Amino acid sequence: MKNHCLALLSFLVLFLAIPGNGFQASRHFGNERNQLTSSSSSSRSPLSSRHAIQSDGDGADVKEKPPSESDSNNRRRFLSQTFGALSSISVVQAASANPSIISSIQGPIQDIIAPGHWIGQLVGLNSKTYQWTFPDASPEQVSKALVDVLQDLTPEQKSKLYIPNFDITRADSNNVHVRTWTKNEWLDSLDVSLTTKASSPSTTVAKASFYATGFLPTSIPGAPLINIGMAWMPFASPGPRGEMLQDFRLRVLESFVAKRLQQNN
């Protein structure tokens, strides 16, 4: 507990020491795409920074223009200092797609409490909920199609969606719940509730939510506790095409599920 308190104090001091932070921050991915491109590394950047992309129509194949250094240097320096201060008690495996042992232990806890979702779902910065409608498909078929889509994602598609690793914790006719980690081990959750449309029993309506569970990655010891203390601070997760990352993920996954259902029929 003493280490956690000292870590949190160091974190807040570093945060307040950076000019221009205000009450809005953003999570950074660092070297998310180093294995797929020789260009400079991408990051989750401030809202003022936008990514330019070209899409093939389904939203998965994108070419991005990195945000300007002036927009993101402060954030990179902030996280660099923070990880440095916590390096004596943290094991970060940013180069691996698999979560570390610490993340595997802390992930389920943070998934349940999801402090990053408390305010995020109200301000809509790092949490989005869409309604998907699939005619002529049962909840069982939609659930299976979503699981198949996730399991069949190529490494490149996983990288573009920032979900190189995931854990499907539930998949049935009522709900699909997935924990997704980035390579830097930020934990975001996908939760999809499935029902039939009252006026059309052959149509399935899915309430799909994708949300960040906390500002700090689960690779940091005590991250769920620290993230509770930081739940008051809204933060953003910008994605490609000037849209938020969760919007981008939900849009792409919906199109993939619709295509899979068509293929299965």
Residue written as tokens 């005619």? 135
Greatest Cα-to-Cα distance within the chain, rounded to the nearest angstrom: 58
Q: Cα 83 vs. chain centroid, distance in angstroms?
A: 19
Cβ-contact 206, 131 below 8 angstroms: yes
Q: Which segments of the chain does DSSP mark as H helices, in order? A: 2-17, 69-86, 101-113, 115-123, 139-151, 155-160, 223-229, 245-264
The pTM (predicted TM-score) of the whole model is: 0.67
Q: Residue 112 CB: number of other CB atoms within 10 A? A: 10
Q: In which residue are the tokens 């590394």 written?
A: 41
Per-residue model confidence as pLDDT tens digits over 117-137: 999 888 888 899 999 999 999
Q: Which residue has the higher pLDDT, 209 or 8?
A: 209
In the predicted model, is pLDDT for residue 166 greater than 50?
Answer: yes
Average pLDDT on 176-190 reads 96
pLDDT above 60: residue 75: no
Percent of the chain with pLDDT over 90: 52
pLDDT tens, residue by residue, 8-66: 444 443 343 333 443 345 554 444 433 333 333 333 433 333 333 333 444 444 444 44
Cα-Cα-Cα-Cα dihedral sign, residues 22, 26, 31, 34? negative
Single out the residue of 255, 262, 240, 241 nearest to residue 208, CA to CA.
255
Closest CA to 256 of 153, 141, 179, 172: 153
Q: What is the DSSP letter of 115?
A: H
Structure tokens at 199: 């006026």
Distant-in-sequence, close-in-space partners of 246: CB < 8 Å, separation ≥ 6 = 126, 127, 128, 188, 210, 211, 212, 237, 239
